Structure 1
Amino acid sequence: MSERHAVAVIGCGVFGAVAALRLAERGYRVTVFERNREPLSGASFNNQNRLHLGFHYPRDPATAEQCIRGYQKFRDEFAECVTADFPNGYFIAEEGSAVTAREYLDFCDSVGLRYRLVEPSRYSPPVTGVTLGLRTQEAVIDCRHLRDVLGRRLAGSSATMRFGTEVRAVETRGDTYTVETHEGAAGSFDSVVNCSFADINRLSRQLGHEAPDRQYEYTAVYVVDWDHPPVGVTVMDGPFTTLLPFGRSGRFLLYHVEHSVLDRVTQQVAPARWREPAAGGLLDRAAVERGFRRVLRDATRFVPALRTARLRDVLHGPRVVLANRNDTDARPSMVGSPGPGYLTVFSGKLDHSVWAADEVVRQVDPRAMSRAQPAGQA
């Protein structure tokens, strides 16, 4: 690959970082633009850190199969960032679950997921209000360690890193793209890989590409101190709670499908007010504490021992999912090419980043990217 083929990667979350490394390894001249001061400072860090194996998607086997595909690839690439030495259980709620215990077991068997049945009352901690318990091999990602690892790899690569640089616009000029930042023009590029997550549609619209409605959510994941060994508890399948270890910190992440969503809209682009969430009242101390109490109240329905959990911090930020998918809860990862030389990476699963980066490389290759025939759109 000629060094003259220049690629702009917008966003240095895990998807942008891994894609940039793959492209740089293959001789592309890569420039990464990230509005924050270090990699993995946005949605890649402010999430549940779950290393998805597929158990979360009984109503959409296609998403589950993507998770199975991504799980081992990520573990092979970032083994030192994965924590798996804790019991991790999935449970079906007695009331309000979208799937029954039998349907859930049939789903697990149909996609080849391995599990061991557990008696919820004998799990540690005991789980109540559920009809089924499974011990799984799912793990979590230590995102602090992952950020350090990717930072070192990027620093040792040929990629040019532009941290603290917000991309305001992308324009086409003939066969090249011009990237405009808050500091002005930042150069011309043969290809652009848009990994900006919540900002994908805003930049795509500037280029005249379709920007379908997405469901944007501003979420809070609560970091708690709790006097218990590392353990995972996920209650399925509906508006329930997840408890997971916060990497190797000794703390836990507590999340609720509904109560952790501080704001939600379905539209083409993310709300501008989310850029300053504190100013909008989303994250004042009183609001954070109210949200935590709601989440904890629901969590103790299933894990009574969590009554002693204490709020330590909150991870917050926007996330994006497909709109109007509540019936199936489909959460696919997609690498698309809305136009020649322009790629978008749409995903909320950190562990899909390795196979997605390989797909980015395949599509950026000029031999696979016909400028006369776009490759499809995410």
Structure 2
Amino acid sequence: MPGLDALAAPAGGHGPVAKVAVVGAGWYGCHISEELQADGHDVHLFEALPEIFGGASGHTQNRLHLGFHYARSAVTRRQASQGYRRFKQVYPALSRPVTDNVYAVPRDDSLLDGETYQQVMQASRLPFEKVDSTAYGLEPSTTAFRVPEELLLTDRAKAHFGESLRPQLRLDTPVESFEETDGGVLVNGELFDALIDCTWGAWAAGGKGVWSDLYFEPCVTLVYESERRDFGLTLVDGPFFSVYPFRNGLHTLTSVTHTPLARCRSHEEARQCIARQSADTLDRTRRAMETEVVRYWTPFRESFRHVNAFFSVKAKMRSESDARVVSVRRSGRRISVFAGKVNTIFLAAEAVRRELHAVVGKDLWVSL
């Protein structure tokens, strides 16, 4: 049986090679595969869809978070800020600045007042500039800040990983069978030393007994065209909305209240919910979201024209807090990854390395 003992050490001298199956070619699956490949491991990346980033990673707001979304979670702010700096170092060509990116705190409806929000961000050493809210068409009582969060360039990221992982990619190849043995795991009948699940519960076999505390939200994101070519507006902290640059001069509109269409027990149930959406239900959702926006920001209807929408499934962990942090769990030779934001891919990769070392019982740790 071709386990670790039968494999030669990689040229870099980092120790024995592990043959690893990674499931899910989104941001996390691609980054972790690239990291393990750089360590010298024999990585095989399985993706059920015909292309990488075909799931939630390719259908998102594309925001590279710095922490401004999370005034009520210090650990999430810290992870976001550290991950932002690391992302800019490792993938400098995969994001870009947004010219005018504003966070606003409504006086009456936010869970925090503007002064407290500002103090939280100052204490977290996040960079921002306080601006005149009325200059953006917001109420004078709204506190507003210009921030340097960036836009993820998803198309460029797909091209990057598609090239760097070309030999490892197994596209249009769902993992239909999985079995743990004494010396490894059988994935579609092929022997591996370990399996890393980066599907956030979308792969049903990976979620059993591992992510029992997950739930799934079928989500709709609206797409608009506007003369405001590079503008973002996000209201915090509460059940508000966000307008953010997307691609090709378009913007997305999301809403804490209206973007999630339901709360489901499984990824498949969420997909079925999306399949039931009709033109009429989408139109009702659009009108509800636009009404919410105009309540706080009246220039919206003058500047933005609805052109499209896309759906996705978001997996979330049941929690009483506002935290969206990295979690990596191991069961036998299966390592499962869960996280909330793209820029925590580095924390996840470090945790996966530790768990991989524990799985194979050899020194596979490689310092970053």
TM-score by length of 1: 0.86
User: What whole-Å deviation, never above 9, does each CA across 1:177-219 have from its counterpart, x for those lacking one?
Assistant: 1113xxxx3x1110111101132674142xxx44332231111
Deviates more, 1:309-318 or 1:66-75: 309-318
Alpha-carbon distance in 2 for matches of 1:302, 1:242 = 11
2:205 equivalent to 1:197: no
Give the letter for the 2:145 counterpart. Answer: L
Are residues 147 and 210 of structure 1, via their aligned partners in 2, closer, same or farther at CA, if it must alter by over 3 Å? closer
Q: How many residues align?
A: 348
Residue in structure 1 matching 2:181, options 162, 173, 180: 173
Alpha-carbon distance in 1 for matches of 2:89, 2:79 = 16
Alpha-carbon distance in 1 for matches of 2:213, 2:354 = 27
Q: How does 1:319-334 map to 2 (within 5 A)?
A: 319-325=314-320, 328-334=321-327
Are residues 277 and 149 of structure 1, via their aligned partners in 2, closer, same or farther at CA, if it must alter by over 3 Å? farther
Whether the aligned pair in 1 keeps the contact of 2:104 and 2:236 (CA below 8 Å) is yes
Alpha-carbon distance in 1 for matches of 2:187, 2:215 = 27
Deviates more, 1:60-69 or 1:130-139: 130-139
Match of 1:128 in 2: 139
Are residues 315 and 345 of structure 1, via their aligned partners in 2, closer, same or farther at CA, if it must alter by over 3 Å? same
Q: How does 1:1-378 map to 2 (within 5 A)?
A: 1=9, 5-123=18-136, 126-128=137-139, 131-155=142-166, 158-159=167-168, 161-180=169-188, 185=189, 187-199=190-202, 202-205=205-208, 209-247=209-247, 249-265=248-264, 267=265, 270-279=266-275, 281-282=276-277, 284-308=278-302, 309-325=304-320, 328-336=321-329, 338-364=330-356, 366=357, 368-369=358-359
Whether the aligned pair in 2 keeps the contact of 1:47 and 1:315 (CA below 8 Å) is no
Alpha-carbon distance in 2 for matches of 1:218, 1:261 = 6
SS of residue paired to 1:48: coil
Whether the aligned pair in 2 keeps the contact of 1:43 and 1:319 (CA below 8 Å) is yes
Unaligned runs of 5+ in 1: 373-378
Give the letter for the 1:170 counterpart. Answer: F
Q: CA deviation at 1:243?
A: 0.6
SS of residue paired to 1:149: helix
RMSD: 2.1
Are residues 287 and 361 of structure 1, via their aligned partners in 2, closer, same or farther at CA, if it must alter by over 3 Å? same
Give the letter for the 1:175 counterpart. Answer: G
Match of 1:375 in 2: none
Are residues 130 and 255 of structure 1, via their aligned partners in 2, closer, same or farther at CA, if it must alter by over 3 Å? farther
Give the letter for the 1:313 counterpart. Answer: N
SS of residue paired to 1:357: helix
Alpha-carbon distance in 2 for matches of 1:130, 1:315 = 34
Whether the aligned pair in 1 keeps the contact of 2:94 and 2:157 (CA below 8 Å) is yes
Alpha-carbon distance in 2 for matches of 1:262, 1:278 = 8
Alpha-carbon distance in 2 for matches of 1:289, 1:227 = 23
Q: CA deviation at 1:154?
A: 1.3
Whether the aligned pair in 2 keeps the contact of 1:22 and 1:361 (CA below 8 Å) is no
User: What whole-Å deviation, never above 9, does each CA across 1:35-90 have from its counterpart, x for those lacking one?
Assistant: 11111111111111111100110111111100011101112222222121411111
Give the letter for the 1:293 counterpart. Answer: R
User: What whole-Å deviation, never above 9, does each CA across 1:250-300 have from its counterpart, x for those lacking one?
Assistant: 0101100011111113x4xx1523334553x22x22222221121111112
Q: CA deviation at 1:129?
A: 7.2
Unaligned runs of 5+ in 2: 1-8, 11-15, 363-368
Alpha-carbon distance in 1 for matches of 2:215, 2:289 = 22
Whether the aligned pair in 2 keeps the contact of 1:82 and 1:142 (CA below 8 Å) is yes
User: What whole-Å deviation, never above 9, does each CA across 1:216-273 have from its counterpart, x for those lacking one?
Assistant: 11111111112223111110111111011004x10101100011111113x4xx1523
Whether the aligned pair in 2 keeps the contact of 1:86 and 1:230 (CA below 8 Å) is yes
Q: CA deviation at 1:302?
A: 2.2
Whether the aligned pair in 1 keeps the contact of 2:271 and 2:313 (CA below 8 Å) is no
SS of residue paired to 1:112: coil
Give the letter for the 1:101 counterpart. Answer: G
SS of residue paired to 2:165: helix
TM-score by length of 2: 0.88
